Amino acid sequence: MSQTQAAPVVELPPGVVALIPMRNLVLFPQVLAPVSVGRAKSVAALEHALASETQVGIVLQKEPREDDPSVDGLCVVGTLAKVVHHVEQQQGLHHAVCQGMQRFRIVGPAEGYPFLAARIEPLVEAADASAEAEALALQLRERSVELLSLLPSVPAELVHALQTTRGPAQLADITASIIDAEVNEKQALLEMTTTQDRVRRLLPLLSHRIEVLRLSREIGERTKEQIDDRQRKFMLREQLKTIQQELGETDDNDAEVARLDEAITKAAMPPDIETHARKELRRLQSMSDASGEYSMLRTYLEWMVELPWATPAETPIDLAAARQTLQADHFGLDRVKQRIVEFLAVRKLNPLGRAPILCFVGPPGVGKTSLGQSIAKALQRPFVRVSLGGVHDEAEMRGHRRTYIGALPGNIMQGLRKAGARDCVMMLDEVDKLTASAHGDPSAALLEVLDPEQNNSFRDNYLGVPFDLSRVVFIATANVIDNVPAPVRDRMELIDIPGYTQEEKLQIALTYLVPRQREANGLREGQCQLTTEALQAIVANYTREAGVRQLEREIGRAMRHAAMKVAEGSADAVHIDAQDLDTILGPVKFEREVALRSSVAGVATGLAWTPVGGDILFIEATRVNGSGKLTLTGQLGDVMKESAQAAFTLVKSRAADLQVSPTAFDSIDLHLHIPAGAIPKDGPSAGVAMFVALASLFTDRPVRHDVAMTGEISLRGLVLPVGGIKEKVLAAQRAGLRTVLLPQRNLKDLREVPESARAGMQFVGLETVDDAIRTAFADTSDSESSNDGRPGR
């Protein structure tokens, strides 16, 4: 095959150069730049420069879209370039690396060549060695290096070139080539032949570009952090989903939202509250289930849909059935039952009326809570008990705000959720045990709950919406009403439930306690028989309480003994009589020590009221040689100490009537003691008993052992009325006392004492302490009659 002969090299006259038009490239002197050409004339110009080893002119064309521009379509100023490297591609493209050498100006076109050619004149730039030029060059170098530090992937050679270039003109050209500016802006810089003008034009462009790059870097870093965090969360969520799928714990967010939406519809909320709930539901729907607020908001909505918002249907009240329920569930308490039936009658006639809030006040174990359950049974409503004992934080009543971790609604709303009905019977148990603290006063929050004028829009802090409590039947219980704040007490109707008599306890044991304990211990009716005498002995010798809780515990012990015998097979049926109790329950716990205590002068039996019912107390007085001082022991309160001082003064003032020498008080010290020294005692009720004990001591006459007394005294010798008469009389009956001395003005209170308790007792009204002395002091005949068990006079 013959080889193709190379085309002869065209020689250009002096001052004429081949031109390569560029669409978007401006080449500056002293700068290396890649050049790509594909148009025929441009390729011919490049090949001519390579063949002739001459320079070629790189010129920007005025119109980038023009494919075949003429010399007139080119910019006037261009750059003479030396082709350093050349590569030809198969697609007809030629790539060359050109180095700018010198500016030139086009004088006119040169025709007759296969490429664009023009006559040119070189542009020579005069050197400027002034101080201003040097300062501008220094500023330009610093800005250029700063710009390169912000650019990614900058060659180290370029940085070195900037730092080592000393000429301001060359530095300006290198900087202009690396700056990111419009092509027309770069062409304007190329056409500037004065170095200072070029530098002044470059510095603002550099400052703007540096600021843009800084902001771009900051935005990029922030975006990268967000993307990294988002990617990390995405990966964790995907891993969590995979783990949940493996464990079978997948929870579809859409299904959860649909379930809550349906529950909101069924909850029958008021319109404004339903609007609020659906707004929260939309927030939940827009959240990711991995968000911390998601679970908090879902818990809130679950509370909202589970509360009883719907208006309850009216249920008829059967008063006859209510009486039967109360009679079947409770023994005695006739006045209390009558008040409950009246309460139910008002509810029947006016269901939407604002009935009073009942508060059962009495010692533990008398049936306050069970009375509330009976009321709920009679009303055919659910019953819920809210225990307030020990509550010291207002948030436990009103709820915690949702901003706190672990926040929950208050006890009232929790009780309503548990009851599942807006018209339930809610028992506020132990309202006297509420205590204020640094977290607020819960009794103050209770005011709104118990006020019929306000509780129709009760607002719980957790829910944040009003709730109507007007249909709830509130019943409160307390042991000591004095501990309840006066504003709370003012909103309730107090119903006293005192202790039971021994006969009532016996009937309660036979009717309720024995069958209940027999069933609790797995015994049938014929497998264990507790005789009436055994129950009487348990009541008298193993319990001393106002209620029946300890009595039930002792009966339970006897039943467990029988259950053991039956389970072992040693007996098919167990019969327990009074004489068997010592073996089963141990020795008696309470003896009638009144006779032992009263066998000497200076001892009197008083009656006291306690939060757990009435009780007896012994006042013991003795004298020793001394100087007339009075010593009081037994943990006495201030009121009782004052009663002791008044009794001592009253004895001194009546020394003549008592046939005591007035000088007998000067040479002795008097010691007054009330046993059970570990128990604090206070109150004015022991005034009469203290006076009688001191009078007995100084007259050497013992007090009858079957006599108990109560009453406050004055310095004139009057006996003043006191409270708690029923509890005190029952305490005297439990202790086996037959005669009770009490203020004359308290005799009317005996109507509250059951007839069975009054039948075997004698009551003496006292106007003055002289009446107490006449009845309390024993002579020989009285002691004998009392020992025979007959009531004294």
Give the integer Cα–Cα distance in Å for 608 and 668.
29
Neighbours of 217 (CB within 10 A): 12
What secondary structure does DSSP assign to 616-640, as a single string? EEEEEEEEEESSS-EEEESSB-HHH
Strand partners, 493: 358
Q: Are 509 and 503 in contact (CB under 8 A)?
A: no
From residue 606, alpha-carbon distances to 60, 282, 686 in Å are 124, 71, 6
Q: Are 616 and 607 in contact (CB under 8 A)?
A: yes
> Of 551, 381, 351, 567, which Cα lies nearest the Cα of 470?
351
Which 3 state secondary structure label does DSSP give 391? Answer: coil
The letter for the amino acid at 740 is V
From residue 507, alpha-carbon distances to 216, 321, 510, 532, 552 in Å are 93, 22, 5, 10, 13
The letter for the amino acid at 207 is S
Strand partners, 359: 476, 494
590 backbone dihedrals φ, ψ, rounded to 5°: -130, 120
> Of 107, 104, 98, 106, which Cα lies nearest the Cα of 177?
98
> Of 103, 82, 122, which Cα lies nearest the Cα of 26?
103
Tell me whether residue 243 is exposed, middle or buried, using C-beta atoms within 10 angstroms of its C-beta: 0 to 12, 13 to 18, 19 or more. Answer: exposed
Give the integer Cα–Cα distance in Å for 722 and 712.
7
> Of 527, 531, 676, 548, which Cα lies nearest the Cα of 615?
676
> Of 735, 729, 684, which Cα lies nearest the Cα of 705?
735
> Of 62, 59, 31, which Cα lies nearest the Cα of 45?
59
Question: Is 241 considered catalytic here?
Answer: no
Q: Which two tokens stand for residue 175?
A: 């900087």
Q: Are 518 and 557 in contact (CB under 8 A)?
A: no
What secondary structure does DSSP assign to 500-556, as a single string? --HHHHHHHIIIIIHHHHHHHTT--GGGEEE-HHHHHHHHHHT---SSSHHHHHHHH
- Which of 726, 728, 783, 786 is labelled catalytic? 728
173 alpha-carbon distance from chain centroid:
72
Give the integer Cα–Cα distance in Å for 423 and 259.
26
Q: Which two tokens stand for residue 347?
A: 């509810």
Backbone Cα Rg of the chain: 54
Q: Are 422 and 310 in contact (CB under 8 A)?
A: yes
- Which of 177, 443, 598, 685 is labelled catalytic? 685
Strand partners, 530: 576
Residues 6+ apart with CB under 8 A from 653: 715
Task: Please tell me what DSSP assigns to residue 177.
Answer: H
Q: Which two tokens stand for residue 27?
A: 């080449």
Question: Is 42 considered catalytic here?
Answer: no
Tell me whether residue 267 is exposed, middle or buried, using C-beta atoms within 10 angstroms of its C-beta: 0 to 12, 13 to 18, 19 or more. Answer: middle
Span between the terminal Cα atoms of the chain, in Å: 162
383 backbone dihedrals φ, ψ, rounded to 5°: -115, 135
Please, how many CA atoms are within 13 Å of residue 268, restricted to the half-sphere of its CB? 7
Task: Please tell me what DSSP assigns to residue 10.
Answer: P
Give the integer Cα–Cα distance in Å for 620 and 597.
9
Give the integer Cα–Cα distance in Å for 653 and 279.
82
111 backbone dihedrals φ, ψ, rounded to 5°: -95, 165
Active site residues: 685, 728
